[in-house]
Amino acid sequence: MTTIEVFADVGCPFAHISLHRFVARRAEMGRSDVRLHVRAWPLELVNATPMDPEFIAEEIDEIRPQVAQDLFVGFAAAAFPSTSLPALALEAAAYGVDSTVGEAVSLELRDRLFERGENIADPAVLADIAAAHAIAYDPTDLSAPERDHREGAERGVIGSPHFFTPAGSFFCPALDIGRNDEGHLVAASDLTGFEAFLATCFT
């Protein structure tokens, strides 16, 4: 079993795209022996302020037609969580069960937010996910995402998503993202970078 670590925020749209692209390619290759271990990179701790729902909505509106027409179909800015820490804590608790449950919950949290328009800071939503996967979970214990944040900083994480493979580290390898002179996001699929990244995952 090969484990690919990735530090990401559950509310980061770029991580949502990258994880979906990775999982789709893994399925095409039939490589169920390669697993994702998604760690917390809480942007509200990194930036010392909560993520702005309207800013995220603007990013999604700009990047979706460029690189992700198949994603963000149910996103609702009004349901964007005021904090990602409880969801990230649940993600960590899921990995405490095993890697299969951990990865499934990590992807489900993002799908509930970006594809189903659910507030993943809502205790009822988190409790539903925890119960469905038989996870023992204390929503008040935020120590796991806080530890991941400290470790990520020590390891040189520069943003969300930042992947660590057996051969090196890659920041947002699926996308080439910048801003134009008007400040709008310009995004393209980074096919060369993504293939180079995948080559280090599926050896």
pLDDT digits (tens, 9 = 90+) for 101-134: 999 999 999 999 999 999 999 999 999 999 999 9
Query: How buried is 32 (Cβ within 10 angstroms: 0-12 exposed, 13-18 middle, 19+ buried)?
Result: exposed
Topology of domain 2-201 in CATH is Glutaredoxin (3.40.30)
Each residue of 134-152: b (16+ CB within 10 Å) or e? ebebebeebebbbebbeeb
Its pTM stands at 0.95
The answer on pLDDT for 180 being more than 90 is no
In this prediction, residue 181 carries a pLDDT of: 84
CA within 13 Å, CB half, 81? 26
Q: What is the pLDDT of residue 160?
A: 98
| DSSP per-residue codes, the chain | -EEEEEEE-TT-HHHHHHHHHHHHHHHHHT-TTEEEEEEE--HHHHTTS---HHHHHHHHHHHHHHH-TTS-TT--GGG--S-SHHHHHHHHHHHHH-HHHHHHHHHHHHHHHHTT---TT-HHHHHHHHHHTT----TT--HHHHHHHHHHHHTT--SSSEEEETTEEEESTTEEEEE-TTS-EEEEE-HHHHHHHHHHH--
| Average pLDDT, integer, range 80-95 | 98
pLDDT at position 185 is 85
Q: What percent of the chain has pLDDT over 70?
A: 100
